[in-house]
Amino acid sequence: MIIPGNPGKITDGLYCLGPLENPTYLLDGGKPAMFDAGVSFLGEHYVTELKKILGTRPLHYLFLSHVHFDHCGAAGYLKRHYPDLIICASSISAEIIAKPSAQALIQKLSTVPGMTESQKFRPFSVDRAVGDGDRIDLQENGFLEVLATPGHTRDMTSYYLPQLRTLIPSEAAGVPAGRGYIYAEFLVDYDSYLYSISRLAVLPVERILCAHRFIYDGDDTVGYFDEAIRQTRRFKNRISILLEQNGYDNEAVGRIIKAEEYGQVPEPKLAEPAYDLNLKAKISTIARRQEKKAQKPGS
């Protein structure tokens, strides 16, 4: 089943906190753990949803996949609300988020007109750096396994719950857009992105909690990763051909791809400025890769 990422119970102890565009997830238990923290203005929404489930019990862990503004935006707000919260992320995320320039960028991207003071991005720091292969005890929910899955970003981290056969890959394995289309998300490195998907593909999974819009459950998880790999290769090949045909004019390629892809994918669409930024990064990634290949024939 493919379920929209609206607030609600997924299975015993596991909840989607919504909203559809930026669903975050909660695993309740002796050490309640939340996965990702959406955009800053959703802080109040997340706390309202958390309270419905946890009551007065505090949130214990927040696991961040990466520090893009739409995945860590409300972390500072949550920390203020739950002062003992342990914010976990990769050491690369910790380094990035410690930089005033990164905080300023998140602040800028998080700003929407009419925002209240409490909806603004609050700087935060990572309390516990986690890395590939780490296992974190979640008491009755077993352990959480950490997987470094770079490609979308350098700091991208996926989380796997073996006891629940549940994977939280964030954007490491693409972003499904409905009607079977999966956005390829190799913003910084195509080859490591594909390798990361292949690592996730071998996990025994019954549930994939996506970073945007959808939850895959049961039979629909079968074949998801193969499809993500197939569509990623196809998208890369399309960019490669267009780069050659258009004399490596990245902007011209961007206009063609946008008409072909963004014009065609079903609603709800990714916000246009975010789409434009991401597409620019993907085309640059492929252009750089082709340049390197041209310098090293046979590689």
**138 vs 283 by CB, closer to Zn ion:** 283
Smallest distance from the beta carbon of 135 to Zn ion, in angstroms?
Answer: 25
Residue nearest to Zn ion (CB): 68
Would you tell me how many other CB atoms lie within 10 Å of the CB of residue 180?
A: 10
Which stretch, 62-70, 122-130, 226-234, 248-256, contacts Zn ion (CB under 5 A)?
62-70
CB nearer Zn ion, residue 32 or residue 150? 150
49 vs 70, beta carbon nearer Zn ion = 70
Q: Is 68 in the site for Zn ion (CB under 5 A)?
A: yes
What is the nearest approach in angstroms of Zn ion to the Cβ of residue 211? 7
171: nearest Cα among 86, 246, 55, 281: 281
How far is residue 262 from each of residues 98, 186, 248, 256, 272, measured CA to CA in Å? 34, 16, 21, 10, 9
Does residue 79 belong to the site contacting Zn ion (CB under 5 A)? no
When asked if residue 212 is in the footprint of Zn ion (CB under 5 A), the reply is: no
Report the distance separating Cα 149 and Cα 165, nearest Å.
Answer: 18
CA distance linking residue 173 with residue 65, whole number of Å: 12
Quick one: 49 or 171, whose CB is closer to Zn ion?
171
Going by C-alpha positions, the residue among 20, 108, 127, 116 that lies closest to residue 68 is 108
Spatial distance between the Cα atoms of 240 and 232, rounded to a whole number of angstroms = 12
Amino acid identity of residue 49, one-letter, is: E
DSSP state at residue 138: -
Smallest distance, Å, CB 54 to Zn ion?
27
Cβ-based burial of 271 (10 A; exposed 0-12, middle 13-18, buried ≥19): exposed
CB of 171 to Zn ion, least distance (A): 5
Instruction: Considering the complex, state which of residue 69 and residue 124 has its C-beta at the smaller distance from Zn ion.
Output: 69
The interface mask with Zn ion, positions 133-172, x = CB under 5 A, is --------------------------------------x-
Tell me which residues touch Zn ion (CB under 5 A). 68, 171
